[in-house]
A and B are shown apart, each in its own frame.
Chain A
Amino acid sequence: MLPYNLYLFFVFVAICVPSLKCGDVVHLSASESADKLEAVPSLSTAAIVSKPAVDTVFSFSLLSSFPDDLEVSDYCSDLLHIFGQRYVAYVNCLVPAARPVKVCQSCYSTYGNLVEIYNNISSDQMGPGNVTCRDSLLRSDRLMLVYQLYSNLESLWEDSNCAKCVTEHLESLTNDTLYFMATLNQTLTCFEKYQQGNHTELCKNCKSAYGTLNVLYSQMEKNSTLCIDIEDAMNMTRRLWSKNFNCSFPREENVPVIAVSSFMLFLPIIFYLSSFLHSEQKKRKLIHPRRAKSNTSLMNIQDKLS
């Protein structure tokens, strides 16, 4: 099929180029076959490669396994299997917790499991049968898939700052976090209570609850015990408060501000006017230098030029 097309193309070219008078139709088909021509090299290389590949598949089925010393031990493949399961569990937990962000609260235990199995894999402790899986699983090939997968999730964990909200051994949430969540709930309940009707009511009544939450948040910010869950919750609450309920401070002092600033701006005008009118102008005394009376004086030159 392909060589045939190619052949066809060359025929077209052979027809077109000498005559230099091909119709549109001919051009169109020529460009079409040009497209196909472009596809040819990749296809042909694929074809070249595919032959050895077929060979490999063939031989692979024959050589079902590498010699013993290169093969991954059963122990390690078990570890790998468990790693896969826990990995999937963690990711399954993460995805639904993406919005609103609850990745720390809901997934810290699954993350703990994942860390545990990875530590097992990467430790240089000998397992049963005097094997260590670190080298065989983590760094025996260029791709280092297990390591890459794990380090992706690890950096995710780092970025989310979850460690700040979870106790050291990933057992539970810290007290600070729990307290913050409780305060947050109070505020949100308050919001819900007054949500219907006039928002000014809400602004007035929930101000104390929101204020407490804000103070608590800024305190935690100072202690740097914030994780993404708390930050996101606070952001959402603030947005509710400021944007949805419009409770931020209104700009209502325009008149005094304008008055004071125009007074200030008026001062320099007075200053410059008064100093212009009242201050005596500084005069400079001219000094006449002693000069030789030149016979090539200016007048002379100009006279001579004209």
Chain B
Amino acid sequence: MANITKKVSWSSRGDDSGLAGEGTPLLNGTEIPKPSRQLSGSGSVFRIGRFSTVDLEDDITSEEDPIRGRPKEIPHNEKLLSLKYESLDYDNIENQLFLEEERRMSHMGFRCLEISRWVICGLIGILTGLIACFIDIMVEKLAGCKYQVIKENIEKFTEVGGLSISLILWAVLNCAFVLVGGIMVAYIEPIAAGSGIPQIKCYLNGVKIPRVVRLKTLLVKVLGVICSVAGGLAVGKEGPMIHSGAVVAAGVSQGRSTSLKRDFKMFEYFRRDTEKRDFVSAGAAAGVSAAFGAPVGGVLFSLEEGASFWNQMLTWRIFFASMISTFTLNFFLSIYHGKPGDLSNPGLINFGRFESDSVAYYYYELPLFMGMGAIGGLLGALFNSINYWLTIFRIRYVHRPCLQVMEALLVAAVTATVSFTMIYFSNDCQPLGPEHNEEYPLQLFCADGEYNSMATAFFNTPERSVRSLFHNQPGSYNPLTLGLFTLTYFFLACWTYGLAVSAGVFIPSLLIGAAWGRLCGILLASFTPTSPIWADPGKYALIGAAAQLGGIVRMTLSLTVIMVEATGNVTYGLPIMLVLMTAKIVGDYFQEGLYDIHIKLQSVPFLHWEAPATSHWLTAREVMSSPVTCFNRIEKVGTIVDVLSNTSTNHNGFPVVVQVLDSDEPAKLCGLILRSQLIVLLKHKVFVELARSRLSQRKLQLKDFRDAYPRFPPIQSIHVSQDERECMMDLTEFMNATPYTVPQDTSLPRVFKLFRALGLRHLVVVDDENRVIGLVTRKDLARYHLGKHGLEELQLAQT
């Protein structure tokens, strides 16, 4: 088998990289790679053939050829890269049109642009806050109704018998909500499933996930999350907020909606990937900030997840959007709660205040906290591993929408059943507190004036359960209750994440962690009867929650700040940081973070911070795709249409070459043109002949390209007549005349750095005479990763 088709693993011996790095001449030998030009049938597609190998590997070459073209099918796994994902064009296309427009723009124009950026950020904040407010109120209303109905039913049937009917009622109500949410997600917009954080992470990384920032996605996401939380699943509404914020940002910044076919003629300058992506990072920050009441945490989240392209002004704008978002949520919630102007509801999840003396901590507790962090890391790794296998199973077998909806329904029913059984068989009765912390106290078989303690954990929306775990008096839960709760909720949450409903994983993780953290606190207090003051269960619940969340999602800086901001207590910064660090170190030893797992399973070409270690010996020549489809500077329309229509090679960027008159000389690189540009050109029929005949024809402007953005029509929808196929097209004006290029001996980490730092989409590999010999794209780089057996290569697949 040849090295391309099989999974290749390089041995990770230390001398590999060193030898390869310095030994390039040795390995290359002295031969000069001579490209052999092959002219394809039409004659104008310029291809550069493989190197004729002077060495002894002719046998390998011949071995390799027959394998090409035979499509091989394998079951889905994590070591694939999907073809459906494309890169964003973060890099500015500096063609002549762009320069012209810049020349025409006055100083005032640039000022206005800057101001409108601020306005957009403000709008993003306001809209995100409003959406958060809407979700919060709807969930509260719907869940309130549901729990009220079930509570009355249970009370009735406790007296006269027939509690199994209450159980069925609970399950049916849950299923009804989840059915609505599931159908919306599975049939209308599958990309809205899950928390959306992996998708936003990919988007900020520079991958264009299809349909991820559309209005339809936003609607499905918002309604879906209301349904799934009200449907009693083990989910939270915080993750989806981040996605919602990102969609809002992408929509507002464009000043139009393609779905609604409305163009407000605003913000036209921002209709390109560069600007849009900056606003999306602001939107994600605003979402975090609305979800947790953590504006700084939001900014840091954006920084941590998509930080390749940052500058001070952008950070400042993003912070502005975050602040506005949390303020808006605050303001409208205060009106809703009947206390207008009281700005004390900063986020969707409110951890409550940790202020009393009992929640102070001492230096001797830090090792305990770190121990809890380690437990969190272990449990998180377990959670992720189970979820990993479950997700693979789902991708392979549960891929039809009807099956997905059925699965969601089953999870909803089982969640209700398990909760009910737990409550039914629980003997933990606690006296009703004077201030009624419990929203829906269930008495069941407890003595009058007492309530079932298990019910406060299960018979409630997850956020409220978290808060009662943090803040209820010591002694409101007995250890058995907490242990059982942790166990069941762990598996429920793990089973739920990845269903075809829009739902976040933050709150379930916090809830699991808070439960076992509180358990730790109670046990500590019972071991040390002399000094129970410091072992406040609420404090340990908080630490446990941080540990569990850190163990599952493995975020670092932003999560620390989010937790600190959500508790409103800066003194917890140190323990939370230590806990998250320990959880991440311990967890990373066993398994990746949940979001990274899902990104991998989606086969997204995700570029990490660094190229894999021990990859310096790989050069651009091995990494690049070759041969490259190139266009001449003045190209025949027919050729262009043929190349674009070729479904087997769905290329997006084409180097433009210029032929020297002497035909023996190979063509030299003079620019780069994108598929989207070519399509716009074809649509407007910018042909040399037509321009000559119709002199009055308006010159194409950058605006025409922006109007088509972001959904460029497919090539099939553009009609080119037989006569027009014979016309010629001059690409000089439209191509990016100065594309980034690298020589062929550049090492992989260097290429990687260029991609990551500049947000490139195409990188042309040239030889010393500026002849195109290959093209590096994101997928070429993303396929290398450091596996258990050294450097491994991912395979490309059609998904």
Contacts and interface: CB of A to CB of B under 8 A. Distances in A.
A292 B399 contact: no
A288 interface: yes
Contacts of A279: 397-400, 403
A239 interface: yes
B795 A265 contact: no
Interface string A279-292: 10111111111111
B211 interface: no
Given A267-B413, A279-B400, A295 B31 contact: yes
B228 to A, nearest CB: 17
B414 interface: yes
Interface in A243-262: 243, 248-253, 256-261
Contacts of A297: 3, 57, 60
B407 interface: yes
Contacts of B11: 302
A249 B157 CA distance: 10
B475 interface: no
Contacts of B161: 252-253
What does DSSP make chain B's interface, helix, strand, loop or mixed? Answer: mixed
Nearest to A280: B397
Interface stretch (B144-152, B514-522, B618-626, B717-725): B618-626
A77 B73 CA distance: 103
Interface residues of B, number: 89
A17 to B, nearest CB: 37
B5 A288 contact: yes
What does DSSP make chain A's interface, helix, strand, loop or mixed? Answer: helix
A261 B774 CA distance: 62
B753 interface: no
A275 B445 contact: no
Given A279-B397, A293-B61, A264 B413 contact: yes
A295 B57 contact: yes
Contacts of A288: 4-5, 67-69, 796
B447 A295 contact: no
B406 interface: yes
Interface residues of A, number: 53
Interface string B1-37: 0011100101101011001100010011101010000
B71 interface: yes
Interface in A177-222: 214
Interface in A266-306: 267-268, 271-272, 275-276, 279, 281-302, 304-305
A295 B54 contact: yes
A148 interface: no
A284 to B, nearest CB: 4
Contact of B29 (A259, A293, A295): A295
A260 B421 CA distance: 10
B769 interface: no
A97 to B, nearest CB: 20
B53 interface: yes
Most buried by A among B15, B31, B57: B57
A83 interface: no
Interface of B: 3-5, 8, 10-11, 13, 15-16, 19-20, 24, 27-29, 31, 33, 50-51, 53-55, 57, 60-61, 64, 67-69, 71-76, 80, 83, 158-159, 161-164, 167-168, 171, 393, 395-400, 403, 406-407, 410-411, 413-414, 417-418, 420-421, 424, 444-450, 617, 619, 621-622, 624-627, 773-774, 779-780, 795-799
Among all A-B residue pairs, the 10 with the closest Cβ atoms: A242-B447, A292-B626, A238-B448, A283-B73, A284-B797, A256-B164, A264-B417, A293-B50, A285-B798, A287-B796
